[in-house]
Amino acid sequence: MYQSAVTPLNDQAAPTAEGGPALMRSINLRELWAPVYRSRFAVIAIFVVVFSLAVAATLLMQPFYQATATVEIRSETQQVLGTEDADATSAASPTDAALFLDTQLDIIRSRSTATAVGQSLGLYANDAFLAAMGVDVEEVTLSPEARRQMVTDTLLDNLDVNLSDQTRIAEISFSSPDPVLSQRVANSYAENYIRLNLARRSDASSYSLDFLREQIREAQERLGQSEREAIGYARQAGLIDTANAAGSDDSSPQSLTTASLVGLNDALSNATTQRIEAEQRWNAARRGSLASIPAVASNPTIQMLQQQRALLESQIQELLETRTENYPAARQLQARVDSLDEQISSIASNVRATIREEYEAVAAQEQALRSTINQLRTETLDEQGRSIQLSILQREANTNREQLGALLRRYNELNAESGIQLNNLSIIDRAEVPGSPYWPNVLLNVALALIVSVLLSSIYILGRENLFDMVRTPEDVGSRLRLPLLGALPVAEDVLADLADPKTDVAEAMNSIRTSLSLLQGGIPRSLAVTSTQAGEGKSTTCFGLAQGLAKLGRSVIIIDADLRRPNVHRLFGLKNTAGVSNILSGAGGIEDYVARDMAPNIDAIFAGPIPPDATELLAAGRLQSLIRDLSSRYDHVLVDSAPVLGLADAPLVASSVEGIVYIVEAARNSVRGVQAAVQRLQQSGTPIVGVVLSRFDPGKAGYGYEYRYSYNYAYGSAKTAR
C-alpha cells in the first residue's frame, strides 16, 4: 500500500517566523481576489451598466433648487416689566432644553405652519404652485379642499428642517424646480413660524385675561355674598361690629357690648387709680393739721393771706417796741391778724373738705363703673356664643376679599404685558435665490452606483462560486477533495512539443510530478493507472509525460492503453491503432505479438486495439490483471491509460489491477461533488489514489497570479547571473 508524502504546493497555513497574526492566517486576500478575477468580465459589465444607468438617471432627473433660511431659537425672552414669561426664564435642564428645541422643529414641520405659508403666498388660489412643483394636475379638476390638501402635502414633502450642531440655529430649507419659488417659500416659512409664535403668545395672553376676568367676576360675587351673609347674621343676632368702624387692624369682629366693656374697663382702671390717689390725699389731710396739708400750703389765696399776716406781724412787733399791746394801733393790727387767721383757717377747712369730696366722688364713680362692668360682662359672655358664626362669616369675607385683590393685581400685570409681545425667535439669514441645483447630486449618485455595483457584483460572484463549485486551484485538491497533490500542469498549446523541451513549464511541471511520486512511501509503484473524471482532461498526455520522465531516469516503462472506448495513446506516437489490448484480452494472441517496442528511449507501448462491442465485459474477464502482472515482471513500471470514471465501469476494473492510481483533474472543469463521486467509485476497487494531477491550470485566468509557475528561463537566467 502506497501513501502520499506530498503536501499541497501552496500551503499557506504554515506560520511565519514571528508566528504570524491569526487573522492573516485565517483570511487569505489572494483567495478573496481569485473569485473576483475569474468573474472580472461580468463584474466590469455590471459596473458599466450600473454607472450608465446612474449617468442616464442623473441627466434625466428634474433639477431641484434648495433655499435655506436660518432662525435663532432662544428658550427665553427679554423681560421689560420683569414679570413676563417667568417660567421660561427659569433655569432648565439640558433634557428640557433639548425637548424644547425638538418641539420647535416639529412646530415648523406642522400642518398649521404649512397652511399659514400657503395662505400668505396665495398657493391655494390656483394650481400654479402644484404645476411648478411638477405635480400633474392637468387631467384632474381639483376641488378647493383637495387642492388645499395637495398643496399642504407638497409643502411638507419638500421641507427640510435641521438644527445646527451645538447651536440654537434652525435651518429651514425648501426644495423646488424653481429657485425663486424655493427662496420665497423658505423665507415665508421663517416669517410665518415667527408670526405664529407671536400669535400663540398673544392668544395665550388673551385667554389668560379672559380667564382672570371670569375669575374676578366670580370672586366679586362670592365677596358680596359673604359680606351680605355676615351683615344679615349680625343683624339677626343683634351684633354690632365696631372693628371696621374704629379702623382697627384686628380682623376679629367686636360687638358694641364688647367695645363698651373694653372702654369701661379702661375707665374703671383710670377711676381706680384716681380713687387710690384721692384716698391717699384724703387720709393725709384727715390725720394731719390743716397747715400740713400740701393743698393748703400750695393754695395761692392762703399764701397771699399768710404774706399779709406776716407783714402785719412785723408791723405789730415794730409798734410793740415803742408801745404796749393795748395801744390802739397795736390792737387794730392784732385784730387784722386775727381776721387773717380766721380767713386762713376757713380756706384751709374748705380745701380739706374739697379733698374729701374728690375722694368720695372718685370712689362713687369707681363703684358705678364696677357695677356697669359686671352687667356688661354677663351680656358679653352671651354675645360671644353668637359671634362665633359671625367670625366665620367675616373670615370667609376677608378671604374672598384677599383673593379678589390677588386676581386684580395679576389681571393688571397681564393687561400690561399683553401690550408688550416680545419674541424668542429671530431670523438670522434670509434665504437667497440658489445659483445651482442641489439635486441630482452627481457625487451621491456615483457613490450609490458604486455601492449598487459592488453589491450586485458580490451577489453574482457568490452565486457563481456556489452554483459552479469547481476544482480550480491546487489548494482545492487538498482542502476540498482531501487528496494528496502530485503537481499541476500548466496550459500549453502543444503539450507534446513542450514535453520534448526540458526548458518549458510543462516539462518542469512533469518533473515535479515525477519527483512527488518518488517521494511516496515505498517509492513509485510498479503499476499505475491514470484516469480522470471526464474525457479530455489530459490523462493520456499525463501518462505519456510520466513515461518520458521515468524513462529519463533509466527505467524501462511500458504504456498500456486500456481505454477501449476512445483510445488515444497511438495518436501520441503518431501510429494507427490496429491491434493491441482488446486482442490480448480476447485471447487472439500473446503479449509479444502486440508490444510496440522502442516508441521512445526505454518506452514500449501496447495500443488499445480494435474497439470491442462491450469493453466492460472484456475488462472484467480477469485477463487484464494477468497482463499487468506479466508486464510488471518485465518492466520497471507499467502505466495504464484508463477510461474516465463517471458513467463507465471501466476505470474501477482497471484500478483493481494496479498498485496505485494517478487521478487527473482538469482545472475549472469539474465540480467538487462530481470529482468526489468519481473518487468514491475508484476507492471501491481497493487501490489507493497515490495523488492528483491538476491539468490545464492557468494561474492568471484563475486569478492567482504566477506564484504557481516555475519558469526554467528565470531560474537559468538567475544562475547565469550568479556565475
Which architecture, in CATH terms, is 67-211+423-429?
A: 2-Layer Sandwich (3.30)
CA distance 425 to 198: 9
Instruction: Estimate to the nearest angstrom the gap between the alpha carbon of 686 and the chain centroid.
Output: 66
Is pLDDT at 689 greater than 90 in this prediction? yes
Say if residues 703 and 37 touch (Cβ distance below 8 Å): yes
pLDDT score recorded for residue 495 = 84
**Closest alpha carbon to 591 in 640, 627, 547:** 627
Q: Read off the C-alpha cell for 593.
A: 505479438
Return the axis-axis angle of helices 111-121 and 144-157, rounded to nearest 10°.
110
Say if residues 561 and 581 touch (Cβ distance below 8 Å): yes
pLDDT score recorded for residue 8 = 38
pLDDT score recorded for residue 18 = 40
pLDDT score recorded for residue 274 = 82
Which of 139-148, 287-296, 713-722: highest mean pLDDT?
139-148
CA distance 169 to 54: 35
φ/ψ of residue 677, rounded to 5: -65, -40
CA distance 560 to 595: 9
Q: What is the DSSP letter of 519?
A: T
The CA angle 240-246-251, to the nearest 5 degrees, is: 75
Quick one: average pLDDT of 339-363? 81
The fraction of the chain above a pLDDT of 70, given in percent, is 83
For residue 155, which amino acid is it?
L
Q: How far is CA 232 from CA 209, 236, 382, in A?
A: 34, 6, 19
- Global pTM reads 0.49
Interior/surface letters 212-242, b for 16+ CB within 10 angstroms, e for the rest: beebbeebeebbeebbebbbebbeeeebbbb
**pLDDT tens-digit readout, 36-84:** 777 778 889 999 999 889 888 888 888 889 999 999 998 754 444 445 5
pLDDT score recorded for residue 49 = 92
CATH 3.30.70.1130: which residues of the chain?
A: 67-211+423-429
Q: What is the DSSP letter of 169?
A: E
CATH 3.40.50.300: which residues of the chain?
A: 483-722
Sheet bearing 425-429, strands edge to edge: 159-163, 169-176, 65-73, 425-429
Q: What fold characterizes domain 483-722?
A: Rossmann fold (3.40.50)
Strand partners, 127: none
**pLDDT tens-digit readout, 481-534:** 899 999 999 988 888 888 888 889 899 999 999 999 999 988 899 999 999 999
pLDDT score recorded for residue 702 = 57
CA distance 653 to 37: 41
Say if residues 539 and 664 touch (Cβ distance below 8 Å): yes
**Closest alpha carbon to 149 in 123, 131, 173:** 123
pLDDT score recorded for residue 340 = 82
Place of cell 400633474: 136
pLDDT score recorded for residue 714 = 46
The fraction of the chain above a pLDDT of 90, given in percent, is 33
pLDDT score recorded for residue 700 = 67
For residue 583, which amino acid is it?
N
Is pLDDT at 11 greater than 60 in this prediction? no
> How does residue 17 score in pLDDT terms, banded at 50, 70 and 90?
very low
The DSSP result for 449-493, as a single string, is HHHHHHHHHHHHHHHHHHHS-B--SHHHHHHTS---EEEEEEP-S
**pLDDT tens-digit readout, 82-130:** 455 544 444 457 788 888 888 999 999 999 999 999 999 999 988 889 8
φ/ψ of residue 19, rounded to 5: 100, -35
Q: Read off the C-alpha cell for 387.
A: 359671634
Specify the CATH number of the domain 256-417.
1.10.287
CA distance 455 to 442: 20
pLDDT score recorded for residue 247 = 43
**pLDDT tens-digit readout, 227-248:** 888 888 878 776 765 555 444 4
CA distance 698 to 700: 6
pLDDT score recorded for residue 703 = 55
Q: Read off the C-alpha cell for 675.
A: 470529482
Say if residues 632 and 660 touch (Cβ distance below 8 Å): no
Q: What is the average pLDDT score of the chain?
A: 81
Q: How far is CA 344 from CA 116, 281, 291, 302, 356, in A?
A: 112, 20, 9, 6, 18
Is pLDDT at 5 greater than 60 in this prediction? no
| DSSP-derived pairing of the beta strands 159-163 and 169-176 | antiparallel
Say if residues 557 and 547 touch (Cβ distance below 8 Å): yes
Say if residues 393 and 230 touch (Cβ distance below 8 Å): yes
**Closest alpha carbon to 644 in 481, 538, 531:** 531
The CA angle 230-234-238, to the nearest 5 degrees, is: 175
pLDDT score recorded for residue 188 = 95
> How does residue 169 score in pLDDT terms, banded at 50, 70 and 90?
very high
Higher pLDDT, 555 or 227: 555
CA distance 704 to 698: 9
Helix (H) or strand (E) holding 605: strand 603-606
Beta-carbon count within 10 A of 45 CB = 13
CA distance 567 to 640: 12
**pLDDT tens-digit readout, 560-616:** 999 999 999 999 999 999 999 999 999 888 899 999 998 999 999 999 999 998 888
Beta-carbon count within 10 A of 502 CB = 12
CA distance 134 to 112: 23
**pLDDT tens-digit readout, 207-217:** 777 888 888 88
